[in-house]
Amino acid sequence: MSKYSGIPVSNGVSIGKAYLLDRSKVCVVKRSLAEKEIPAEIVRLREAIQMSKDQLRDIKQRASSVAEKYAIILDTYTLLLEDDLLVNETIDNIKQDKINAEWALSRTLDKFTSLFNNINDDYLKGKRDDLDLVVHGIIKNLIGHHQESLVDIDEPVVIITHALSPSDTIIMNKAFILGMATEVGGKTSHVGIFASALGIPAVVGVPGLTQYVNSGDMVIIDGLDGEVIINPDEDTLSHYRTKQKNYLRYERKLLDNITLKSETMDGHTVQLMGNIESAHEAKAVRKYGGEGIGLYRTEFLYLGANSLPTENDLYANFKSVVQSMEPYTVVIRTLDIGADKQLQQLDHETEANPALGLRGIRLSLKKPDIFIRQLKGILRASLYGRVKILYPMITSMDEVREANHCLEQAKKELKRAQIPFDEKIPIGAMIETPSAALTVDSILNVVDFISIGTNDLIQYILAVDRINENVAHLYQPYHPSVLKILRQVFETAADKGKHVAICGEMGGDPMATFLLLGLGTVHELSMEPHSIPKVKKILRKVTLDEARKIADHALSLSTAEEVNQFITNEMRTRFPSDFDRDLAFGEKSA
DSSP string, 68-112: HHHHHHHHHHHHHHT-HHHHHHHHHHHHHHTB-HHHHHHHHHHHH
Q: DSSP string spanning 228-241? A: EEES--HHHHHHHH
Catalytic positions: 190, 503
Q: What size, in residues, is the chain?
A: 590
Among 515, 524, 450, CA closest to 487: 515
φ/ψ of 221, rounded to 5, equals: -110, 115
Q: Please give the average per-residue pLDDT across 544-567, as a whole number.
A: 96
Give residue-wise pLDDT tens across range 332-370. 999 987 634 445 555 555 555 656 777 789 989 999 999
Query: What pLDDT sits at residue 306?
Result: 60
Q: Please give the average per-residue pLDDT across 403-429, as a whole number.
A: 97
Check residue 15 and report its DSSP letter. Answer: E
Residue 187 CB coordination number (10 Å): 17
Instruction: Name the least confident of 1-10, 95-104, 139-148, 534-543.
Output: 139-148
Query: What pLDDT sits at residue 396?
Result: 96
The angle subtended at Cα 337 by Cα 336 and Cα 343, nearest 5°, is 135
Query: What pLDDT sits at residue 530?
Result: 83
Residue 115 pLDDT greater than 80, yes or no: no
Give residue-wise pLDDT tens across range 478-530. 999 999 999 999 999 999 999 999 998 899 989 999 999 999 999 999 998 88
Residue 342 CB coordination number (10 Å): 19
For 488, left (φ over 0), alpha (ψ -120 to 50), or beta?
alpha
Q: Which residue has the higher pLDDT, 355 or 555?
A: 555
Q: What is the three-state SS of 499-530? A: EEEECCHHHHCHHHHHHHHHHCCCCEEEECHH
Question: Between β-strands 449-452 and 499-502, what pairing exists: parallel, antiparallel or unpaired?
Answer: parallel
Q: Please tell me whether residue 182 adopts helix, strand or coil conformation.
A: strand
**Contact (CB, 8 A) for 138 and 147:** no
Measured between alpha carbons, how far is 193 from 198 in angstroms, rounded to an integer? 9
Q: Residue 242 belongs to what H/E stretch?
A: helix 234-254
Query: What pLDDT sits at residue 125?
Result: 56
Q: Please give the average per-residue pLDDT across 385-400, as a whole number.
A: 97
Instruction: Name the least confident of 57-71, 139-153, 203-217, 434-448.
Output: 57-71
pTM comes to: 0.72
Residue 73 pLDDT greater than 70, yes or no: no
Residue 68 pLDDT greater than 60, yes or no: no
Which residue type, as a one-letter code, is found at position 83?
A: D
Residue 66 pLDDT greater than 50, yes or no: no
How large is the C-alpha radius of gyration of the chain?
Answer: 25
Give residue-wise pLDDT tens across range 430-472. 999 999 999 999 999 999 999 999 988 998 999 987 656 577 6
Measured between alpha carbons, how far is 125 from 377 in angstroms, rounded to an integer? 28
Q: Residue 218 belongs to what H/E stretch?
A: strand 218-222
> Which CA distances in Å does 385 have to 360, 428, 490?
26, 17, 28
Q: Please give the average per-residue pLDDT across 84-88, as a whole number.
A: 79
Measured between alpha carbons, how far is 76 from 303 in angstroms, rounded to an integer? 6
